[in-house]
């Protein structure tokens, strides 16, 4: 996947503490337009916390995050900053481990919710657009089904369509397959792969799916104890990692 060099996400000097526990210890990174960047590492190394700081689900303790030209400093939230955060989030689609669909709404109603309530699109126009997105993730025929009638993999694909419905500049994926049965993982990774290859979507992905990283990612970043210990192309990282900690982790998961 080619990238044109323009940074869509820029993180500078990012620290995040929960009480006395410092989870992120000075993260500097960029994700360029059209790039797929995979974050990997042990549980508790800070990957998901970084993702949640990018769209301010967690407030960084210090440092700054810039998404699509909107730059916000960490620290205390002010009314002005809250408005900036709201604007920044309109540029980010987020897909979580658990699908977080509204159980009382059908698949298409879940996907339409953002465009209608946040962006003010007319329901009939939003419905046609969202039906196309459900078709894109292979669930057009399930549009009127409620989440309880869908498998975990189908629910996660609805969640991806819901994030895409906001027409974001970047998609953030926080271990999107970790809650799925093994036989359902492939269908979600297939959708993510098509986003990267067909739509050239800019993606920041926390995942343990090394096959996906090797096939789809432009870069892989190895997190260790709240820092980026090593980064490079997936090929270089998986076959020729420099750091002993990276090597040890890759040998354990591959």
Beta strands 170-174 and 202-206 are parallel
Distance in angstroms (rounded) separating the CA atoms of residues 147 and 158: 9
Q: What are the tens digits of pLDDT across the range 30-89? A: 999 999 999 999 999 999 999 999 999 999 999 999 999 999 999 888 888 999 999 999
From the CB of residue 169, how many other CB atoms can be counted at a distance below 10 Å?
17
Distance in angstroms (rounded) separating the CA atoms of residues 233 and 7: 18
| Regions of the chain where pLDDT drops below 70 | 1-5
pTM: 0.94
- SS3 of residue 209 by DSSP: coil
């Amino acid at each position: 996947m080619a990238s044109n060099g323009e940074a869509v996400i820029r993180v500078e000097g990012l620290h995040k503490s929960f009480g006395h526990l410092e989870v992120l210890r000075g993260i500097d990174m960029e994700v360029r337009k059209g790039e797929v960047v995979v974050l990997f590492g042990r549980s508790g190394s800070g990957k998901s916390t970084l993702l949640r700081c990018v769209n301010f689900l967690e407030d960084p303790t210090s440092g700054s995050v810039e998404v699509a030209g909107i730059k916000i400093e960490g620290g205390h939230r002010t009314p002005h900053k809250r408005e900036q955060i709201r604007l920044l989030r309109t540029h980010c689609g987020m897909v979580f481990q658990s699908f977080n669909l509204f159980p009382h709404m059908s698949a298409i109603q879940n996907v339409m919710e953002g465009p209608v309530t946040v962006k003010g699109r007319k329901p009939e126009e939003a419905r046609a657009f969202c039906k196309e997105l459900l078709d894109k993730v292979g669930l057009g025929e399930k549009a009127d089904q409620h989440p309880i009638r869908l498998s975990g993999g189908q629910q996660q694909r609805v969640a991806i369509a819901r994030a895409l419905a906001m027409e974001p500049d970047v998609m953030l994926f926080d271990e999107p397959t970790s809650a799925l049965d093994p036989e359902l993982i492939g269908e979600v990774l297939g959708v993510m792969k098509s986003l990267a290859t067909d739509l050239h979507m800019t993606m920041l992905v926390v995942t343990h799916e090394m096959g996906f990283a090797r096939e789809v990612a432009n870069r892989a970043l190895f997190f260790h104890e709240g820092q980026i210990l090593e980064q490079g192309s997936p090929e270089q990282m998986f076959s020729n990692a420099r750091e002993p900690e990276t090597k040890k982790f890759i040998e354990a998961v591959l």
